[in-house]
Structure 1
């Protein structure tokens, strides 16, 4: 008699579990990890030490001035009346003018070097740009004072003549009878911004060039194979891939423009009046204030200058923080499409 076949119940399969990966670091890995961590902490400590020192040295001036430090224009520490409203405005306006002039030139030069320049010429242009970024600011100041300033006076006159309906180009402090005398246009925030832009161009160009040069070759060749033009490849591959680098280069240039001292002091006449007009010779920058007033400053004036330096420090730190956020949100290659 045949016995019926009995099927044993299947044993349940074990549930899938993620494999645990164990990283075994060598001694060299640990040394490198703690060294880089220590260097990063040292940078943060130095940054905090600089801010703390400026705050400590400028605390007495801030106590005397109160909130008037941010709303006053006059700079008379001995009289107890001093503020940085006009100086902060001048600093920002010079930086904005510098970026408006420098960024298009820098990005165009970077694209030409990476995408259009012949191979032999590319190395020469790269070396020239890198050398320009290392030139001391005093050299740019001399170049701006003797070469750019005379050439920019007609430009300032033309802007004042044709665009004076815009508040930024309006002139109020110049005598109407001598409205278009060249000497009255030789010292302005506009000319200072253009001179500072000559220092910003190499920095922006060098950073953007490095990022553009790292654009993926496969995607560029794929776009060309699909019929894209050279500009189409740049617009669809190179620029999206280098967006974060472009923002980083622009912000580095902005930091240079905000803190530039010697070139601005050589061009602009020291004036602490608050004004949004960039052609009428009003306004100055915090950095030029410090370099011009430090030599003759007493204890109270030095405290006020330290407070002004603290304001510039906070402004630069805020700009760099915003730059970090923008670069993090615009990672290179994040939105590259063909």
Structure 2
């Protein structure tokens, strides 16, 4: 009950039987229990620790990279060669390769992840839904080296014919042209150059990031409001019409977040790219032609034999990759916050 004493409002526990009686655990609105206060402080502390760790990682990378960055200056972002011991090194070609692999991988993974998530959430039989969910989650836990072995011993041999057809009929697009290639209709032409291309590496990386994006999207689609689903169907919408007007708007944030999370992993993939692609430290815009490199695979390939100065250069490349992934995650958080799941369907 509420008692007015002049300008003061006193809130007292309700008498037994009054409306709003919550029993012995009743407390005034706005006051948190001790357990809630402890949880709030633990949550804040955990967030601060995570941010602090990320900041320390960035400071550590910058400190170890300072020797190489101070020597190279701005040329570090424009030079395409990688010869740290001779003073001729930069990440221009490496960054282009990293971005191409990441973008191609996510372009391949997004349609597959979205279609799989919608099928499991909306079309799969109830008795098989749990099996499909477990299979997708299991794929997300497969080590990257296993995907790399699959790409080397299976995909390179069986997908090269598809890449040959692609470059034969789409070589008028500069991105898919293969320079200095013999007659594409010659039956004796070699296909070796296509096996170690950026596109081949992106195909394997795309398969790796698909389960992660699919799991995030499926979780959001499964939580779409049942009332709005039934309302759409009751108004005469088809199954696809209900998905388009209710499920997809509700899961828009998850689609963006899953895509960006997959892109972040694709940018940082290491062993798979190193096993498939032929290292080339120049800007290679022809994604079907052999050669390319990513920052993470460069570090994995050269760290063991690098000199102290070359190690500092590798730290500099890693620092650039760190900043790039942080930027991707920041953009993902921005897009998700502007398109929260369910915002459109609740309007």
Which segment is superposed worse, 242-251 or 175-184?
A: 175-184
**4+ aligned runs moved over 3 Å, structure 1:** 19-22, 173-180
Contact 2:140–2:212 (Cα < 8 Å) also in 1: yes
Q: Which residue of structure 1 aligns with residue 243 of structure 2? A: 234
- Give the drift of 1:180: 3.9
CA distance in 2, matches of 1:256, 1:180: 36
Deviation of 1:282 after TM superposition, in Å, equals 2.9
Taking the TM superposition and a 5 Å limit, the aligned residue runs for 1:257-296 are 257-296=266-305
Tell me the secondary structure at the aligned position of residue 72 of structure 1. Answer: coil
Residue number among 195, 204, 208 corresponding to 1:195 in the alignment: 204
Counterparts of 1:134 and 1:185, CA distance in 2: 29
The partner residue of 1:34 within 41, 52, 61 is 41
Equivalent residue number for residue 83 of structure 1: 90
CA contact (8 A) 1:97 1:190 kept: yes
Task: Please point out which of 46, 50, 53 is paired with 1:46.
Answer: 53
Q: Whose Rg is larger?
A: 1
1:10 is matched with which residue?
A: none
TM-score scaled by structure 2? Answer: 0.89
**2:298 pairs with 1:298:** no
| Residues 237, 337 of structure 1: 8 Å contact kept | no
What is the CA-CA distance between 1:22 and the residue it aligns to?
Answer: 5.5
The 2-side partners of 1:227 and 1:175 are apart by 57
What secondary structure sits across from 2:285 in the alignment?
A: coil
Residue 214 (structure 1) aligns with: 223
Residue 274 of structure 2 corresponds to residue 246 of structure 1 = no
TM-score (norm 1): 0.91
Q: Alpha-carbon deviations, 1:14-69, whole Å to 9, x = none?
A: xxxxx998621222122111111111000000100111001000001001111111
Let me know the Cα RMSD of the aligned residues: 1.9
Please identify, of 106-115 and 156-165, the stretch whose mean Cα deviation from structure 2 is larger.
156-165
**Greater Cα offset, 221-230 or 271-280:** 271-280
Tell me what 1:170 maps to: 177
Q: Deviations over 1:67-110 (max 9, x none)?
A: 11110110000000100111110111111111111110111010
> Taking structure 1 as reference, are residues 256 and 180 closer, same or farther at Cα in structure 2, changes over 3 Å only?
farther
Structure 1 84/173 Cα, relative in aligned 2: closer, same or farther at 3 Å? Answer: farther
Secondary structure at the aligned position of 2:343 is classed as coil
Q: 1:307 aligns with which of 303, 306, 316?
A: 316
Structure 1 residues without counterparts, runs of 5 or longer: 1-18
- SS of the residue 2:345 aligns to: coil
1:25 aligns with 2:32: yes
How far 1:173 sits from its partner (Å)?
5.3
Q: Which runs of 5+ in 2 are unaligned?
A: 1-9, 12-27
The structure-2 alpha-carbon separation of the partners of 1:175 and 1:305, relative to structure 1 and needing over 3 Å to count, comes to farther
- The residue matched to 2:342 in structure 1 has which SS? coil
